[in-house]
Amino acid sequence: MKPFCFADGKIIATEAAALHPSDLGLIRGYGIFDFFRTVNYQPLFLEDYLDRFIRSAERTYIPLAYNREELRTIIHQLIQKNDLKEGGIRMVLSGGISENHFSPGEGKLFIFAESLSFPSEDKYQNGIKLLSLEYVRPVAEIKTTNYALAVWHSAGWKKQGAEDVLYYQGSYISESSRSNFFIVKNGQLITPDSNILLGITRKNVIELAGGAQIRPVTFQEIRDADEAFITSTTKVILPVTQIDDLKIGTGKPGPVTLGLLERFRAMVSQNTSVNS
DSSP-assigned letter for residue 65: -
Burial code (b: 16+ CB inside 10 Å, e: under 16) for 153-192 equals: beeebeeeebbbbbbbeeebbbbbbbbbbbbbbeeebbbb
Cβ atoms of 125 and 161 within 8 Å: the answer is no
The dihedral region occupied by 193, where left means phi > 0, alpha psi between -120 and 50, and beta the remainder, is alpha
- Cβ closest to a copy of itself, residue 61 vs residue 262: 61
Q: In the chain, what's the furthest Cα-to-Cα distance? A: 57
- Cβ closest to a copy of itself, residue 14 vs residue 191: 14
User: Counting contacts by CB under 8 A, is residue 118 touching a copy of itself?
Assistant: no
- Cβ closest to a copy of itself, residue 145 vs residue 218: 145
User: Counting contacts by CB under 8 A, is residue 132 touching a copy of itself?
Assistant: no
Q: How far is the CB of 110 from a copy of itself (least distance, A)?
A: 5
Task: Give the 3-state secondary structure of residue 243.
Answer: strand
Q: Which of 147, 214, 252, 271 binds a copy of itself (CB under 8 A)?
A: 147
User: Counting contacts by CB under 8 A, is residue 108 touching a copy of itself?
Assistant: yes
The interface mask with a copy of itself, positions 85-104, x = CB under 8 A, is: -----x-x-xx----xxxxx
Q: Is the CA virtual torsion 232, 228, 140, 24 positive or negative?
A: negative
User: Counting contacts by CB under 8 A, is residue 257 touching a copy of itself?
Assistant: no
Q: Which of 10, 121, 122, 148 binds a copy of itself (CB under 8 A)?
A: 148
User: Counting contacts by CB under 8 A, is residue 155 touching a copy of itself?
Assistant: yes
- Cβ closest to a copy of itself, residue 22 vs residue 250: 22
Q: How far is the CB of 26 from a copy of itself (least distance, A)?
A: 5
User: Counting contacts by CB under 8 A, is residue 229 touching a copy of itself?
Assistant: no
Q: Footprint of a copy of itself on residues 194-223 (CB under 8 A)?
A: none
Q: How far is the CB of 250 from a copy of itself (least distance, A)?
A: 30
Query: What span, in angstroms and rounded, lies between the C-alpha atoms of 179 and 163?
Result: 11
Query: What span, in angstroms and rounded, lies between the C-alpha atoms of 206 and 204?
Result: 5
Residue 239's nearest CA partner among 265, 256, 264, 257 is 257
The continuous run of DSSP H or E covering 128 comes out as: strand 128-134
Q: Footprint of a copy of itself on residues 11-70 (CB under 8 A)?
A: 14-15, 17-31, 33, 60-61
Query: What span, in angstroms and rounded, lies between the C-alpha atoms of 74 and 71?
Result: 5
| Interface ranges with a copy of itself (CB under 8 A) | 1, 7, 14-15, 17-31, 33, 60-61, 90, 92, 94-95, 100-104, 108, 110, 112, 114, 117, 135, 138-139, 144-152, 154-155, 178
